[in-house]
Amino acid sequence: MNLTIAIPKGRLGSQAIKMFKAAGIGEVIDENSRKLIFNDENLNISFLLLKNSDVITYVESGIADIGISGKDMVMEEDADIYELYKMNIGKCKMAIAGIKDSDIFKDDSIIKVTTKFPRLAKKYFKSKGQIIKLNGSIELAPILGLSDVILDIVETGNTLKENGLEVFEDMYQISAVVISNKVSYKFKRKEIKEIIDLLRWEDNNGKDN
């Protein structure tokens, strides 16, 4: 096939790898190892295990032909790529949250917002927000006084709950998407379509796997 597929590490990646394996591809991936690249020589497919936020960079540059990314990152990066298929995995929501029962968000004054998504936050809060970019453990920021609210993804809601935070406002529903490099899509359309058809089948019918 001669394809390179970028997969995010972590929760979303594990679900995606499970799906690839159920579809009969990606047997070579061993999540317990520290290897970051796995080559399936029979199928001629390479898998790159990347940080979620780097999948888009590798796909946009063409080093990876396709990738699995959260829609949150796709919205944040606004990259020159195609979004080919919206998956049924990685479902969560983007929301504004803060310390439970606090009334900071009701106030109309400028508030401090910590987030992994500074561009989305700037668009959302406009002049009402002072945006501070963090790379993880976002929920700590309001507790320690670095921000008034967070703009983050909420999946099970456990991280908010266990840190005494609550959602103040829901923004958008999101899920994982299959993205493609634009040139790859032109020259490897048949191979890419084949992978997406397999994933789509697993996504819709393979729930018992």
How many whole angstroms separate alpha carbon 207 and alpha carbon 18?
11
What does each C-alpha distance from 37 to 28, 107, 109, 183, 205 come to in angstroms?
10, 49, 48, 22, 28
User: In this chain, which of 30, 31, 78, 155 binds ligand PRP, going by CB under 6 A?
Assistant: 155
174 binds ligand PRP (CB under 6 A): no
**Of 166 and 194, which has the nearer Cβ to ligand PRP?**
166
For helices 11-22 and 189-205, the axis angle rounded to 10 degrees is 100
Stretch that binds ligand PRP, among 29-37, 62-70, 74-82, 149-157 (CB under 6 A): 149-157
Q: Is 153 in the site for ligand PRP (CB under 6 A)?
A: yes
For ligand PRP, which residue of 159, 175, 194, 200 counts as binding (CB under 6 A)?
159
Closest separation between CB of residue 108 and ligand PRP, Å?
A: 27
Site track for ligand PRP across 115-144, x = CB under 6 A: ---------------------xxxx-----
What sign does the CA torsion over 160, 161, 163, 167 have?
positive
Residues 6-35 close enough to bind ligand PRP by CB under 6 A:
10
- The whole-angstrom separation of Cα 130 and Cα 122 is 8
> Residue 145, interface with ligand PRP (CB under 6 A)?
no
Residues in the site for ligand PRP, rule: CB under 6 A? Answer: 10, 136-139, 152-159
